[in-house]
Chain A
Amino acid sequence: EVQLVESGGGLVKPGGSLRLSCATSGFTFDTAWLSWIRQAPGKGLEWVGRINDKTEGEITDYAAPVRGRFTISRDDSKNTLYLQMNNLKTEDTALYYCTTGSHWGRGTRVTVSS
Chain B
Amino acid sequence: SYELTQPPSLSVSPGQTARITCSGDALPKQYAYWYQQKPGQAPVLMIQKDSERPSGISERFSGSSSGTTVTLTISGVQAEDEADYYCQSADHTGDSVVFGGGTKLTVL
Binding site for B on A (CB under 8 A): 35, 37, 44-47, 50, 61, 63-64, 97, 99, 101-102, 104-107
Residues of B within 8 A of A61 (CB): 95-97
**CB atoms of A44 and B97 under 8 A apart:** no
Question: In the bound complex, how far is the Cα of B42 from the Cα of A9, in angstroms?
Answer: 16
Query: A106 to B86, Cβ gap below 8 A?
Result: no
Q: Complex Cα distance A64/B1, Å?
A: 9
B42, B54, B88, B99, most chain A CB atoms within 10 A: B42
Taking a contact as CB atoms under 8 Å apart, the answer to whether A44 and B48 are in contact is: no
Q: Is the CB of A44 within 8 A of B101?
A: yes
Number of B residues near A (Cβ < 8 Å) is 21
Please tell me if B33 contacts chain A, counting CB pairs below 8 Å.
Answer: yes
A45 to B36, CA, bound (A): 11
Residues on B with C-beta less than 8 A from A107 are: 42
Task: Evaluate contact between B86 and A97: CB separation under 8 angstroms.
Answer: no
Return the 9 tightest CB-CB contacts between A and B, nearest first.
Answer: A104-B42, A47-B97, A44-B102, A45-B99, A102-B45, A61-B95, A45-B86, A44-B101, A106-B42
Smallest Cβ-Cβ distance to A95: which chain B residue: B42
Best-surrounded residue of B48, B86, B96 (most CB of chain A within 10 A): B96
Q: Which residues of A contact B44 (CB under 8 A)?
A: 104
Please give, as numbers and ranges, the residues of chain B lying within 8 Å of A99 by CB-CB distance: 43
Is B35 an interface residue, CB under 8 A from the partner?
yes
User: A residues within 8 A CB of B1?
Assistant: 64
Give the residue name and chain of the A residue nearest to B86 (CB).
Answer: A45
| B98 in contact (CB, < 8 A) | yes
User: Cβ of B42 and Cβ of A101 under 8 Å apart?
Assistant: no
Across the two chains, which residue of chain A brings its CB closest to B100? Answer: A44
Name the residue of chain A whose CB is nearest to the CB of B103: A44
B102 partner residues in chain A, CB cutoff 8 A = 44-45
Query: Quick one: given A102-B54, A106-B42, are A45 and B35 in contact (CB under 8 Å)?
Result: yes
Q: What CA separation (Å) do A64 and B96 show in the bound complex? A: 9
Produce 1/0 per residue, B6-45, CB < 8 A to A: 0000000000000000000000000001010100001111
